[in-house]
């Protein structure tokens, strides 16, 4: 991986982390197109730079993170299901991170679900994340587990999960952002631990690439997150649904036509 490739992946991460289109899925497709998807450091990079994007949440919602202890209790409760499954399925998830076709299928099927999400979950009663109780937080955390499949979208799964518990689109999106903080901190720490265990300490060049990636992802995400909630409130999920279907269909067609999209 070179600096240019790192910046490209970081821009993709910053733009897509908070959209229900799967940032990981897009980075897998991009890294496959650049011929670097199977590299162990690239796998670490695609997870670690999500931390940079997530830090934008701490900046934009700083007051929420210093408001109360109960806020953190609910985040921990919501985080527990994915923490357990993530540990148990870590090796299998690593294999999925090399399969653009699997990502394409997830994008396509997830897009179909998003087309009907607004109609299925229209009974919004909870308009503030402070009103989310612990049981609801746990249920949203279960939805986050689905996003362990590359291409599903962590934000998409948790926002839909929140709406299924009668949260408004805005409240569901904000809770999804908040839940991303402990989730990505843990995922980055665990991925770094596994990388160092298998490959040793990152080289100076690799550390530099991680730093560049996180900074770029942070800046791009900071700009993207400001407009996402407004867009979601105004237009709903259909735009994202059609986008996912289009991208997924193109990749599936390329694969079936004999293109070498499987980089293993």
Give the residue-averaged pLDDT of 159-179. 90
Q: Is residue 140 assigned to a domain?
A: yes
- Of 259, 252, 243, residue with least CA distance to 22: 243
Q: Is residue 261 assigned to a domain?
A: no
Count up the domains in the chain and report the number. 1
Q: How far apart are CA 136 and CA 214, in angstroms?
A: 31
**35 CB contacts (<8 Å, ≥6 apart)?**
263
Q: What are the DSSP calls for 17-77, one per residue?
A: TTTTT-HHHHHHHHHHHTT-TT-HHHHHHHHHHHHHHHHHHHHHTGGGGGT-HHHHHHHHH
CB 138 within 8 A of CB 95: no
In the predicted structure, residue 260 carries a pLDDT above the cut 70: no
Q: Is residue 262 assigned to a domain?
A: no
Q: Does the model's pTM come out above 0.85?
A: no
162-166, 169-173, 232-236, 259-263, range with the lowest pLDDT: 259-263
| Vertex 109 angle, CA 105 and 111, to 5° | 115
- Of 178, 208, 226, residue with least CA distance to 62: 178
Q: Is residue 45 assigned to a domain?
A: yes
Q: Is residue 263 assigned to a domain?
A: no
Q: Is residue 64 assigned to a domain?
A: yes
Q: How far apart are CA 91 and CA 107, in angstroms?
A: 22
> 216 versus 122: which is more confidently predicted?
216
Q: How far apart are CA 226 and CA 157, in angstroms?
A: 20
Token couple for 6:
């790192």
Which residues does residue 167 pair with via DSSP β-bridges, in sequence order? 126
pLDDT of residue 135: 95
pLDDT of residue 213: 94
Mean pLDDT of the chain: 85
pLDDT of residue 263: 42
> 258 versus 246: which is more confidently predicted?
246
In the predicted structure, residue 31 carries a pLDDT above the cut 80: yes
Domain that holds residue 196: 3-256
Q: How far apart are CA 5 and CA 205, in angstroms?
A: 13
- For residue 241, name the pLDDT band (cuts at 50, 70, 90): very high
């Amino acid at each position: 991986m070179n600096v240019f490739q790192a910046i490209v992946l970081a821009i993709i991460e910053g733009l897509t982390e908070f959209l229900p289109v799967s940032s990981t899925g897009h980075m897998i497709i991009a890294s496959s197109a650049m011929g670097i998807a199977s590299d162990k450091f690239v796998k670490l990079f695609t997870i670690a730079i999500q931390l940079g994007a997530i830090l934008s949440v701490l900046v934009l919602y700083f007051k929420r993170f210093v408001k109360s202890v109960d806020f953190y209790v609910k985040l921990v409760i919501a985080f527990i299901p994915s923490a357990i499954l993530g540990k148990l399925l870590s090796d299998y998830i690593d294999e999925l991170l090399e399969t653009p076709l699997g990502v394409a299928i997830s994008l396509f099927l997830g897009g179909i679900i998003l087309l009907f999400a607004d109609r299925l979950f229209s009974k919004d009663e909870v308009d503030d994340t402070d009103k989310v109780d612990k049981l609801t937080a746990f249920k949203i955390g279960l939805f986050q587990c689905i996003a362990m499949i590359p291409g599903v979208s962590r934000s998409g799964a948790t926002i839909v999960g929140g709406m299924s518990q009668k949260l408004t689109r805005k409240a569901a999106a904000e809770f999804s952002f908040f839940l991303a903080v402990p989730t990505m901190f843990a995922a980055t720490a665990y991925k770094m631990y596994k990388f160092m265990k298998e490959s040793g300490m990152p080289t100076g060049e690799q550390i530099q690439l991680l730093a560049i990636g996180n900074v770029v992802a942070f800046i791009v995400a900071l700009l993207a997150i400001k407009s996402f909630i407004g867009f979601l409130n105004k237009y709903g999920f259909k735009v994202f649904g059609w986008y996912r279907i289009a991208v997924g269909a193109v990749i599936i067609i390329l694969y079936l036509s004999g293109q070498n999209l499987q980089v293993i």
